[in-house]
Amino acid sequence: MMKILIADDESLARERLALLLKEINPEYQQIEASNGLETIEQVNEEEPDIVLMDVRMPGMSGLEAAHHLMNCETPPAIIFTTAYDEYALQAFESRAVDYLLKPIRKERLEKALEHCSKLNKLQLEQLGQQNQEVSYRTHISAQIRGTILLIPIKDICCFLADHKYITIRYNKEGVLAETIIEDTLKSLEEEFSSLFLRIHRNALIRKDKIEALEKQQDGRILLKLKKLPEGLEVSRRHLSSVRKLMKS
């Protein structure tokens, strides 16, 4: 039987959806999540077929969670729910993504469940661009053995490019960890320009982790980051912006 995940931060909203789903079909298997992070966890563990996703949730918004779910091997179908979200609504309408307005009508929910199709990556990216609140992600997701691994942006030390892949070095419960994602430094740089700084063709570093600049004997300049044992090379082209940041 179909498994449905209700993702909403408000318990009353979840309660109502659960009741409506039960009326539509008592055999639906229902699970719940109260924010974006829990949604990802539940999807990893329970592998639901459909996610009813609130656009606004604390911690991680519904749009961002949907973005990460796309990294799943078999992503669930997503139906967005929202009370009133001017920007999101405009975006949904123009991208033909299914969304339900709260309070949700039973007939409307039934129809959405029948017709729900999978959101594609392009649609989702365009949604994100039009929605100001999720203009950049709070987490980066990587796929590891079929499940989604989420890395909070605030734990990330640097992104290092290596051919097609990017290595993320981050702080995992006090220990330095590494993981690999497929992305480009250019898009990461654009997305997180307020938090990260490009210091080399192959390195993007967290601004508030900068510790010191060191000149090597061979003329190379290395940047030391907090909690990172080795220095990272700063290219001549990016040196002035690093210096400027360190002065301010």
Partner 1 sequence: MPKIKNYPRLNSASSINHEAEQNSLFLPDFCALKMVFAVVVIGELLAIVLTMAPLRMDKQLWNDMALVALFIQWNGLMCSSALCLLRPFFKNYSNRFVALSSYLILLLIITLLSELTFYIVEKYYLFDAISSTSHWEFLVHNLIIGGIISALALRYFYVQHQWRVKVQAESCTKLQLLQARIRPHFLFNSMNSIASLTRTRPEVAERMTEDLAELFRMLFREDHEMIAWARELTLSEYYINIEKQRLGDRLKISWEVNDIPDDAMVPALILQPLLENAIFHGIEPEINGGSIVVAGELNYNQLIITVENTNSKNIIHRQGNKMALANIEERLKAHYHGKASIVCQDKDDVYSVIVSMPYLMQDES
Q: What is the amino acid identity at position 232?
A: L
Q: Which is nearer to partner 1, 103 or 174 (CB)?
A: 103
Candidate segments 95-103, 107-115, 121-129, 182-190, binder of partner 1 by CB under 8 A: 95-103
Query: Is residue 168 within 8 Å of 140, Cβ to Cβ?
Result: yes
When asked if residue 187 is in the footprint of partner 1 (CB under 8 A), the reply is no
Q: Which two tokens stand for residue 231?
A: 């220095």
117-176 residues in contact with partner 1 (CB under 8 A) are 132-133, 136, 138, 153-154
Phi, psi of 132 (to 5 degrees): -60, -35
Applying CB under 8 A, which of residues 22, 46, 58, 146 lies at the interface with partner 1? 58
The DSSP symbol for 10 reads -
In whole angstroms, the minimum distance from the beta carbon of 143 to partner 1 comes to 23
**Interface characters, 210-229, with partner 1 (x: CB under 8 A):** --------------------
Q: How far is CA 107 from CA 24, 31, 99, 114, 172, in A?
A: 9, 21, 14, 11, 46
The DSSP symbol for 73 reads S
When asked if residue 39 is in the footprint of partner 1 (CB under 8 A), the reply is no
When asked if residue 11 is in the footprint of partner 1 (CB under 8 A), the reply is yes
Applying CB under 8 A, which of residues 2, 83, 144, 176 lies at the interface with partner 1? 83
Q: Which is nearer to partner 1, 22 or 111 (CB)?
A: 22
Question: Site for partner 1 (CB under 8 A): how many residues?
Answer: 28
Beta strands in 42-189 (DSSP E): 50-54, 77-82, 99-101, 139-144, 147-152, 156-162, 165-172, 175-182
In whole angstroms, the minimum distance from the beta carbon of 102 to partner 1 comes to 4
In whole angstroms, the minimum distance from the beta carbon of 13 to partner 1 comes to 6
Query: Can you tell me the distance from the alpha carbon of 175 to that of 205, in angstroms, rounded to the nearest whole number?
Result: 18
Torsion of CA 201, 203, 208, 211, to 10 degrees: -100
State the residues that interact with partner 1 by CB under 8 A. 9-13, 15-16, 19, 34-35, 37, 56, 58-59, 83-85, 101-104, 132-133, 136, 138, 153-154, 195
